Structure 1
Amino acid sequence: MNLSALVILTALATSLPAQQPAAPKHQDTEVYEPVPPIVTPGATDAAPPSDAIVLFDGKNLDQWVSTKDKSPAKWTVADGILTVSKAPGTGNIETKQAFKNYQLHIEWRIPENITGTDQARGNSGVFLASTGPGDDGYELQVLDSYNNKTYVNGQAGSIYKQGIPLANPNRKPGEWQTYNVIWTAPTFNSDGTLKTPAYATVFFNGVLVQNHFELKGQTLYIGQPFYKPYDTAPIKLQAHGDKSEPISFRNIWVREIK
């Protein structure tokens, strides 16, 4: 192309009006797939929705085993309530099924005639992932914290020894308490190193006490937390073994989050 022709084309191009972008439409930001699955809610917010796995409905312990040896769970079931057994050697119980990410609903009660102080006052725990024999796992603390002074990262609603609750919404001993939990399990690289940490969101009696809290590892009684690789794990309930009256649970269900 000679110089004269290039000059003419350049002049034509600069003389043409600039093309205006198309005006945005509301359809541009509307998405129609994938369609969320239909889930029928429970009759109340506490009742299990249609896709929930009911872990305890007040009738039996078919969904639970002893943590120690995987034998049938031996806690007490009466009047629709599950109570920690004080029989020697009974120990902790955990779900037969293992989970990864989930939504958990669980209700618990400290006896009205509770005795003791500090950590020896209805102590138990909901272990959001029970990662194996001898492991501490990841504990959401259960304790009478209505009028009971203890270390704040060990009171009810705490991620034990890590996450201090944002509030203390405890009801009196003898009244039912509720945890609603969103658990995001940690993930690991092929060499066992941590890829993404665990997170917990907890509503305690309808009050937010853990807001997408990032765990530093297992919830250890002594020492600094660390992560140990696992894929899926049962949910565990603790028989703490102190001398205070045993606590009770009811209405336990879980929804897996894919």
Structure 2
Amino acid sequence: MKKQTILVPIAIALCGMAGAQNRNINMDSLVQLSKKTEVWEPVPAKVTPGKTAADAPSDAIVLFNGKDINAFQKKGGGAPGWKIDKDGALTVVKTSGDLQTKQGFGSCQLHIEWRSPAVIAGSSQSRGNSGIFFMGEYELQVLDSYENPTYVNGQAGSIYKQHIPLVNASRKPGEWQTYDVIFTAPQFYADGTVQTPARITVLHNGVLVQNNVEIKGGTKWIGPPVYKKHKDKEPLVLQDHGNDGGNPMSYRNIWIREL
């Protein structure tokens, strides 16, 4: 009886040691299996983010910071006719024409802020109208859409005449509004046919209004959109809509990241 009393605890201890050893072996095997799915290269480049979501990160190209408009020219060439207000806003001047960047861009991340006047006249599309044209072709609508009924594929946050925004996130006239955009440029075959269409995601005042939608072609006021082969990089264009209703639109804090 004494031998049995002594041997039982020893057997239990040995079983425990064997179990622990098996657990260690199993864990080592799991670690080795895990390493097979680890990827260490290429290491992502370091980018210093801005102090706020509106501030440009370290790898961004600042197109307008309230001080000069050297990054822009009149569409087609020539000196830009827009003015910089005393508060550092870039404001369209009547019949001054569209602005375009001197540099071309393809796929990109864009941050841009815009404002309609606090006192605004007109209605529908004649109420604080402008637009942002990616690659000079694909328009993200800029419009005072605060309690301003219009056709919904032409309101603020729409891809003009193509995609209705998911919601209306507009602020009141006179308040600054933001667009944060991820734009994927289209790709074309050598014969000019579309290989992959453009796509766009838009946050309006921090609210998702376009969720990776497919752009159907270049923006058209009349008729369906169509694609026409263009360069891999084209200018970003800010629209002078003719200053409808005497409501000049303003922009500020414009920066872009090439993707």
TM-score (norm 1): 0.86
Partner of 1:30: 38
Secondary structure class of the residue paired with 2:220 = coil
> 1:99-123 CA deviation, whole Å, 9 max, x = no partner?
0110000000011101100100001
1:48 paired residue among 46, 56, 61: 56
Partner of 1:190: 190
Distance 1:29 1:72 in 2: 55
2:90 paired residue among 77, 82, 97: 82
Paired amino acid for 1:248: S
Work out the percentage of aligned pairs sharing the same amino acid.
59
Q: Which runs of 4+ in 1 moved over 2 A?
A: none
Secondary structure class of the residue paired with 1:153 = helix
Partner of 1:175: 175
Q: CA deviation at 1:212?
A: 0.4
Distance 2:118 2:147 in 1: 13
Partner of 2:16: none
Paired amino acid for 2:65: D
5+ long unaligned stretches in structure 1: 1-21, 131-136
5+ long unaligned stretches in structure 2: 1-28
Secondary structure class of the residue paired with 2:245 = coil
Partner of 1:246: 248
Secondary structure class of the residue paired with 1:94 = strand
Partner of 2:66: 58
Return the index of the structure with the highest Cα Rg.
Answer: 2
Q: CA deviation at 1:74?
A: 1.4
1:128 paired residue among 109, 131, 134: 134
Secondary structure class of the residue paired with 1:243 = helix
Distance 2:158 2:134 in 1: 12
Q: CA deviation at 1:232?
A: 1.2
> 1:168-227 CA deviation, whole Å, 9 max, x = no partner?
110000100000000101000011111000000000000000000101101110001110
Count the aligned residue pairs: 227
Aligned-CA RMSD value: 1.1
Distance 2:183 2:134 in 1: 7
Q: CA deviation at 1:240?
A: 0.2
Distance 2:53 2:224 in 1: 37
Distance 1:160 1:244 in 2: 22
Q: How does 1:102-117 map to 2 (within 5 A)?
A: 102-117=108-123
Q: CA deviation at 1:243?
A: 2.4
Q: CA deviation at 1:244?
A: 3.1
Distance 2:103 2:79 in 1: 13
TM-score (norm 2): 0.86
